[in-house]
Amino acid sequence: MLSNIQQNIMSSALRPAYADEAVVMHTIKTSKNSEGKIVKEGHMHIIFVDMTTQKPIDKVVVSPITAAGLVKALSESLVKLDAELKNKKIEKARKKVEIDYIR
């Protein structure tokens, strides 16, 4: 399954949009179920902003579980990226892509 997702990402027509800033918000929806009990549902909203134009680029809404996975994946990726950037070795000119999948 992961290889299918990676293949679809690489062959997709997604264009990169570079964001300088991000705004993080959350929403909570409250309702009562058929038994009269209160049910709450929450989502995280991440809005990416291009500060050159000061306009939002895109808004992504994720569940709290996906948000927690995103925090973990971003932290791990930042550690790898930082180590690679501090490495003084010059490797062959290539574009290195690492993918972390969040479930």
pLDDT at residue 11 tops 80? yes
pLDDT at residue 103 tops 80? no
Q: pLDDT for 15-65, tens place per residue?
A: 888 899 999 999 999 999 999 999 999 999 999 999 999 999 999 999 999
User: Is the pTM of the predicted complex or chain greater than 0.75?
Assistant: no
Q: pLDDT for 62-72, tens place per residue?
A: 999 999 999 99
Cα distances from 95 to residues 9, 76, 92, 98, in angstroms, run: 16, 19, 9, 10
Amino acid found at 83: A
Q: Of 70, 29, 15, which Cα lies nearest the Cα of 46?
A: 70
Kindly report the backbone phi and psi dihedral angles of residue 9, in degrees, each rounded to the nearest multiple of 5, phi listed first: -65, -45
